[in-house]
């Protein structure tokens, strides 16, 4: 990517931001961004989900391939990595049905990648908490569909990603040196705790934080170092709670049973992981995250269709990062991680 092409695109987004609009003004350069956090809603998925969640969200109901591509173009995104939404996810209480739905979703994402060459990658869905079925789907997704990674949710009922029940899955993902994209879910523990406040306002960030703690303090990150994690929404509230995480790590280091879970220390594990900008395109979230893990671990993400991708572009442009930082987040860090990205 030549510097003048990047600056031309940045100038366009800055102009839009200054104009106060939600949309980027006319795109003046070819798309170059890479979006690692992008959802879809195939028609068969919407139908299957009705049995569990009668009213899908408006953004999901309005999703179509054409609208998704138009959104990519409007935001100057060269390639988006698809993953299934958490609301309501893949598993609705029936193991066989979840396995079938995960397979259909993965084949659909692979088909979108073929239909729109170079515009899409995907993180394959799993029928968790069915571990046996998930290990089988991992093999199919990588060996037959050539998925770019695996998509998981922060929790499955009372189990977080570091739960011992998921060890066979992590062992297989480590063997494959897999990228694992996490998305928060509507946790079963904490519904309607604060009346009148949408669960996604609070619980999404908290659930990602719980899952990071689970993976790190239960030793999953250390035991399976080849797994490359991407955490949604700037790592939830983890950067703001780092003092408490540090305190927990210090206590664990003194416990013979827990110390082996963090042989290299807490921050070593956190700084290996990646974090996206979705719903976090502001100085407060980005400042805390980058102060903890550095620029190299931050990836551009939009959370489409839960808002236009241009909103994330405009928010990041308003931060006035140096050119090299802006380009690292927009594209270069993802290229380094994903390798096959266009």
CA pair distance 267, 242, nearest whole angstrom: 9
Comparing 16-30, 118-132, 225-239, 270-284, the range with the smallest average pLDDT is 16-30
CB atoms < 10 A from the CB of 13, how many? 25
Query: Across all residues in the chain, what is the average pLDDT?
Result: 90
Domain 36-338 homologous superfamily, CATH: Metal-dependent hydrolases (3.20.20.140)
pLDDT at 340: 52
**What's the whole-number mean pLDDT along residues 319-337?**
97
pTM value is 0.90
pLDDT at 179: 98
CA pair distance 236, 163, nearest whole angstrom: 19
3-state class of 318 per DSSP?
coil
Comparing 47-51, 72-76, 290-294, 324-328, the range with the smallest average pLDDT is 47-51
Name the pLDDT band for 25 (thresholds 50, 70, 90): very low
Q: Is residue 111 scored above 90 in pLDDT?
A: yes
Please give the C-alpha separations between residue 71 and each of 6, 206, 299, 303, 338, in angstroms, as whole numbers.
Answer: 19, 29, 18, 12, 22
**What's the whole-number mean pLDDT along residues 169-198?**
86
pLDDT at 20: 36
Name the pLDDT band for 114 (thresholds 50, 70, 90): very high
Tens-digit pLDDT profile for residues 190-225: 777 777 777 777 777 789 999 999 999 999 999 999
Q: Is residue 227 scored above 70 in pLDDT?
A: yes
What tokens were used for 223? Answer: 């035991």
Tens-digit pLDDT profile for residues 232-261: 999 999 999 999 999 999 999 999 999 999
CA pair distance 236, 202, nearest whole angstrom: 9
pLDDT at 88: 87
Name the pLDDT band for 57 (thresholds 50, 70, 90): confident
Q: Could you write out the three-class secondary structure of 16-63?
A: HHHHCCCCCCCCCCCCCEEEEEEECCCHHHHHHHCCCCCCCCHHHHCC
Tens-digit pLDDT profile for residues 123-173: 999 999 999 999 999 999 999 999 999 999 999 999 999 999 999 999 999
CA atoms within 13 A on the CB side of 158: 0
Listed residue (103, 140, 111, 106) closest to 123, CA to CA: 106
pLDDT at 292: 98
């Amino acid at each position: 990517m030549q510097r003048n092409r990047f600056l031309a695109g940045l100038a366009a987004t800055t102009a839009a931001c200054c104009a106060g609009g939600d949309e980027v003004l006319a795109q003046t350069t070819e798309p170059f961004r890479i979006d690692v956090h992008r959802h879809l809603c195939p028609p068969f998925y919407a139908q299957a989900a009705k049995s569990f969640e009668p009213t899908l969200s408006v953004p999901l109901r309005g999703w179509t391939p054409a609208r998704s591509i138009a959104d990519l173009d409007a935001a100057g995104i060269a390639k988006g990595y698809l993953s299934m939404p958490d609301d309501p996810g893949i598993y609705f209480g029936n193991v066989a049905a979840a396995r079938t739905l995960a397979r259909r979703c993965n084949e659909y994402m692979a088909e979108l990648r073929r239909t729109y060459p170079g515009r899409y990658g995907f993180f394959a869905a799993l029928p968790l908490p069915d571990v046996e079925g998930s290990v089988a789907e991992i093999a199919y997704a990588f060996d037959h569909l050539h998925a770019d990674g695996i998509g998981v949710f922060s929790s499955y009922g009372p189990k977080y990603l570091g739960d011992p029940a998921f060890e066979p899955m992590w062992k297989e993902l480590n063997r494959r040196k897999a990228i694992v994209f996490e998305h928060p879910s509507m946790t079963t523990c904490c519904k309607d705790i604060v009346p009148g406040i949408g669960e996604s306002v609070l619980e999404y960030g908290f659930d990602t934080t719980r899952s990071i703690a689970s993976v790190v303090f239960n030793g999953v990150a250390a035991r399976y170092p080849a797994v490359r994690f991407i955490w949604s929404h700037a790592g939830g509230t983890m950067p703001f709670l780092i003092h408490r995480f540090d305190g927990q790590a210090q206590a664990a280091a003194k416990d013979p049973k827990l110390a082996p879970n963090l042989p290299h220390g807490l921050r070593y594990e956190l700084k290996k992981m990646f974090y996206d900008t979705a719903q976090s395109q502001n100085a407060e979230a980005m400042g805390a995250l980058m102060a903890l893990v550095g620029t190299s671990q931050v990836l551009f993400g939009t959370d489409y269709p839960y808002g236009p991708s241009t909103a994330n572009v405009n928010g990041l442009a308003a931060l006035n990062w140096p050119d090299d930082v802006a380009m690292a987040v927009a594209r270069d860090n993802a290229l380094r991680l994903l390798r096959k990205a266009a």
